[in-house]
Amino acid sequence: MCRVLKVERSGYYAWLKCPQSARAKEDARLLAYIEESYLASGGVYGSRNVHRDLTEAGERIGRKRVERLMRQKGLRSVRSPLRRRYKGGKPAVVAPNRLQRQFTVKQPDLAWVTDITYLRTAEGWLYLAVVIDLYSRAVIGWSMKSSLARELAMDALLMAIWRRRPTSEVVIHSDQGVQYGSDDWRRFCREHGLEVS
């Protein structure tokens, strides 16, 4: 039989003494812990949470190995039907687009635009909010912080208001991201006589 299967006799007899490899034995041992963690969670845990449980218990195991063993055993996490899922469609509009891509303005302090960017520094990332007057294309307000807090955008706008002191209503145009779509932002603009766009 060894000649037909092209297997060495010594390998065949070694296999007879120990049919499972050391890795297969380790997988069987780990699978018991994986099943225990999975069942203790009520069948809710996926590979990430099971892996966390095993590492907290002192086992040295990779997450991919946990995924493989759970897949082999048919253990799958149960998803809640109440969990929100992203639905595509039209983006939410916080304020109407009053500029309509007309970025040429005849006089100062009619329309300002604002946005946030991030900069890499030697000490980490910094976030920069800038307010630009569309007439002169000059930066009239800016603010820099180490986090994307709502105050970042409002501080830049406050600097622009303080420096320009507009007498008429100014249209402030933004991409309506998280900072520019907040209630604080709209309230701040209303209090200072700015029209959000």
**Range with lowest mean pLDDT among 93-97, 128-132, 159-163, 176-180:** 93-97
pLDDT in tens, 114-142: 888 888 888 888 899 999 898 888 899 99
Instruction: Considering only residues 180 and 49, tell me which one the structure prediction assigns the higher pLDDT.
Output: 49
Q: What domains appear along the chain, each with residue ranges and CATH number?
A: 2-73 (no CATH), 111-196 (3.30.420.10)
Threshold 0.75, pTM exceeds: no
Structure tokens at 29: 């041992």
The pLDDT value recorded for residue 130 is 92
The dihedral built from the CA positions of residue 183, 185, 191 and 195, taken in this order, carries a sign that is negative
Instruction: Considering only residues 45 and 16, tell me which one the structure prediction assigns the higher pLDDT.
Output: 45
Instruction: Considering only residues 86 and 151, tell me which one the structure prediction assigns the higher pLDDT.
Output: 151
Tally the residues of the chain.
197
Q: Which long-range contacts (CB under 8 A, 24 or more apart) does 77-85 make?
A: 77/43, 77/44, 77/45, 77/46, 77/47, 77/49, 78/42, 78/43, 78/44
The pLDDT value recorded for residue 111 is 85
- The answer for 84, left when phi > 0, alpha when psi is -120 to 50, beta otherwise, is beta
Check pLDDT > 60 for residue 91.
no
Mean model confidence pLDDT for the chain: 81
The pLDDT value recorded for residue 186 is 81
pLDDT in tens, 51-84: 988 888 888 889 899 999 999 988 888 766 666 6
Q: Identity (one letter) of the amino acid at 33? A: Y
Alpha-carbon distance values, 59 to 95, 110, 179 (Å): 53, 64, 43
Distance from C-alpha of 130 to C-alpha of 150, rounded to nearest angstrom: 13
